[in-house]
Structure 1
């Protein structure tokens, strides 16, 4: 029977070392722990589990520390884990049989297994990759590389067998969202040091590109990704596709490359790796960034499809870490297309993987909020746990903002009964229109603590409650800008003019007023933007309202700005497009055709206009309007898209639905056509 040694190097790993060692203790003959300077209880815990602990002076060289551990091991085979790794409990019984099966075959020097990366212990699945953690114990088999170290035999790759079919699965919990950047920076610095000394390993260029990319240094990331593609082209690596991910993403973020240039890279990547979901995902996100919504949707759906059937054991797959991004963007495009059923499905998928995603939750609620409250509650209970205080707080906080009263009251009662949590009482009272009750509470809290969010809600309660004489209750901490807005709203003073300095505060109030105020109150407030702030500010307010989903109010602001401008040259071209989008979402296809036509006429020829024209054509019931839409989407403007200047291609102003709900009937001011769609 083969003897097995488990090896681990550690430094301040008290939180996870026991889990790691316990996972292998029953199937190994010895445990070797090499500690490189822990100041916590790591050593004590390791000894309690039964490990032989050795101490090693750290010298910024992971391979050296690992090789010191190998020198202490007596077994025939090594299982070398990091402290934040452990073998799955339901797979551990397979480890010794696998080793025994290959022990007599001297041609096999290692077993390569699947590693699943988790977002912390018991966290969501972030990705998978093949890894060598099991290999023969030999004086000529050693690690190389100060970081991202790999094990070799006399400098050459080991002869290995793949242990697939998930016979052995190793979980890695160390690279969470909160820790990954710090570790990436540490590793990048060590690779840079190697490069300074002329050391170029198989993955040197990739690791540098990946490190710079994750740290936002996209120019450097592109440079090293291009080098990595050339270098890895002659190698068989589990990461050979990844430089394309770095390259496409970095080019997308820099927004200075022509569509032809990025498309060429995408096509090259897909030709080489047609079944890899990360490639399709990045292509989809690029197309979305330049306004090609339909192309983006096709690529994103392809990413989901290829991931569902991905079975390439020899390559990493980190799609899972970005799956919520894919699902959310698919949902947004379906939402833009007015395909509510498909949008709902993908908002749900987003929340199943990331249930605290506020934008997805808000959009989901916009689609179901008018259903019977009991049905909405039943549906939300499939996504959230009413025994979890965090889930309840998320639901109450977000439902408060969205004015979903009966559903909110249901979850708020559970929060009070189970956890006596009264922190959100003020928001709940606001949502239930108890403005006179909540204002004194908010005013008292603001006087004591001076918190801006409380100040904002207190001012909203004051405006909606209709009691300007209570402003003194807010005390001397109330910002003068809010005093001006209150006075202007109630017209308690004459000749008040709001300025550019007031604009951010006005916008913050507007975001709350459109949810909490009735139609008259909201319209009165928004008129301040027309009367006291520059016409340009009206367009900016319109964009805010559009992104919140209040298309009627938004359209009113855009049209006011367009009609008030002294000349066409002063009107930002994209406002015509946004006005057209508002009409489209309100199913006013006559208005949509008119304003999209104006946008094109005045030179705003973004790709997504033609998607909107196509969607309008598909949804419009009027044959005359459909014909106009058809002529627009097939007319001379379309042919001009191929010769757009590079600057115009990259200067994309996104028109999308992000994280707010659509208006309720009666809450918007765009005539009788304003209904919840």
Structure 2
């Protein structure tokens, strides 16, 4: 007989050696969700000691190189009608508790998307993180596990839908050292991609892991496989986030002195609204001294307000819309001989850049050159 679920929402976490992150995660959940289920997969640090200070459920699961298996065990432990899945290096934000609870009372919804900021000072994208506590909804995939296929199946079977709610998650883990995960992630990704070669994001992640390991050739090979996977898709299957393999491969090839023009042109055809690709097109146009083309691209990016910008499918470093593009505009105007305008853009870049002193020096040099050529 099926257990009667309690009203409200359970947060489900799987953790291992997360002593540096777990407390802030729990603090963001306590008093906001109705239950916290923490499943430990073999911590040897103080994770469980820290977690034990809070009124949460602590369960244990033997790690078997399968993230879905661990997550699905956590789901099976949850006792409330809704589940939020979250990681230790993430923090949960609910700006309007009343609106959030009203969303959870909506019987026409099987799941909710929220806004996920993947890094500090980045914009957000939509991520399905809240769904009904339903035995039909389970994760699949050993790494970069997915729940949306089973959510979509429930929606189709029950005539319900996925909504969008005004809550957010901030991910902070990428700012920490990631190299200790390489020995786990690389073989997991390789084994998974051998069976599921169409997972573009996993090709991007495998390339990133090789890059962190110092193997740039293997990184480029992984990204090239991701590009091939995108090319094999129909246009309807292609998502903006698939552009990440193109961006990574273009940057790597350019740094290695390899041709990029054809690859960049194809990327822009597939993803015309992808802003990082647009900035790259401006950067490489400037390298060819095509200042008018570069200026047009950079000016469009500078007009975007990064503090409120939102793209449902992909996140951006907010620096792209502030000091990165202002410095690009400064260099464009300097090469065009507009030294006073270059100085102005360098000063604008200095307002938000962590390298403000260097930019102020460049502004002064450009201003001095403007006086000499006046």
TM interval, short-chain normalised:
0.7 to 0.9
Structure 2 CA distance for partners of 1:156 and 1:86, relative to 1, 3 Å:
same
Following TM superposition, by how much is the alpha carbon of 1:359 offset from its aligned partner in structure 2, in angstroms? Answer: 3.2
From 124, 138, 144, the equivalent of 1:142 is 138
- Whether the aligned pair in 2 keeps the contact of 1:129 and 1:316 (CA below 8 Å) is yes
Q: Is residue 55 of structure 1 aligned with residue 60 of structure 2?
A: yes
| Distance (Å, rounded) in 1 between the aligned partners of 2:307 and 2:34 | 39
Other-structure match for 2:111: 110
Q: Is residue 325 of structure 1 aligned with residue 324 of structure 2?
A: yes
Matches within 5 A, 1:254-653: 254-257=256-259, 262=261, 264-305=262-303, 313-320=311-318, 322-323=320-321, 324-366=323-365
| Distance (Å, rounded) in 1 between the aligned partners of 2:310 and 2:365 | 39
Q: TM-score, normalised by structure 2?
A: 0.81
Identify the structure with the greater helix proportion.
Answer: 1
Identify the structure with the greater strand proportion.
Answer: 2
From 234, 237, 261, the equivalent of 1:235 is 237
| Distance (Å, rounded) in 2 between the aligned partners of 1:69 and 1:93 | 27
- Whether the aligned pair in 2 keeps the contact of 1:284 and 1:299 (CA below 8 Å) is yes
Q: What SS does the aligned partner of 1:33 have?
A: strand
Q: Is the deviation greater in 77-86 or in 295-304?
A: 295-304
Deviation string 1:118-149 (CA, Å, 9 cap, x unpaired) is 33xxxxx1242211110111222111222211
| Distance (Å, rounded) in 1 between the aligned partners of 2:89 and 2:30 | 16
Q: What SS does the aligned partner of 1:13 have?
A: coil
From 81, 99, 106, the equivalent of 2:104 is 99
| Distance (Å, rounded) in 2 between the aligned partners of 1:236 and 1:71 | 33
| Distance (Å, rounded) in 2 between the aligned partners of 1:147 and 1:62 | 6
From 24, 33, 37, the equivalent of 1:28 is 33
Deviation string 1:163-200 (CA, Å, 9 cap, x unpaired) is 26xx2121111112x5356657853442112234x233
Q: Is the deviation greater in 64-73 or in 53-62?
A: 53-62
Following TM superposition, by how much is the alpha carbon of 1:311 offset from its aligned partner in structure 2, in angstroms? Answer: 5.8
Q: Is the deviation greater in 200-209 or in 47-56?
A: 200-209
* Count of residue pairs brought into register by the alignment: 358
Structure 2 gap segments, 5+ residues each: 1-5, 156-160
Deviation string 1:238-263 (CA, Å, 9 cap, x unpaired) is 51333332343234223232xxx61x
Larger radius of gyration: 1
Other-structure match for 1:132: 128
Q: Is residue 39 of structure 1 aligned with residue 63 of structure 2?
A: no
| Distance (Å, rounded) in 2 between the aligned partners of 1:87 and 1:349 | 33
Structure 1 gap segments, 5+ residues each: 120-124, 371-584, 588-674
Following TM superposition, by how much is the alpha carbon of 1:69 offset from its aligned partner in structure 2, in angstroms? Answer: 0.8
From 252, 255, 269, the equivalent of 1:253 is 255
- Whether the aligned pair in 1 keeps the contact of 2:226 and 2:245 (CA below 8 Å) is yes
- Whether the aligned pair in 2 keeps the contact of 1:114 and 1:131 (CA below 8 Å) is yes
Deviation string 1:15-39 (CA, Å, 9 cap, x unpaired) is 3222212222223221100112223
Q: What SS does the aligned partner of 1:118 have?
A: coil
- Whether the aligned pair in 1 keeps the contact of 2:11 and 2:37 (CA below 8 Å) is yes
- Whether the aligned pair in 1 keeps the contact of 2:111 and 2:151 (CA below 8 Å) is no
Higher relative contact order (CA 8 A, sep 6+): 2
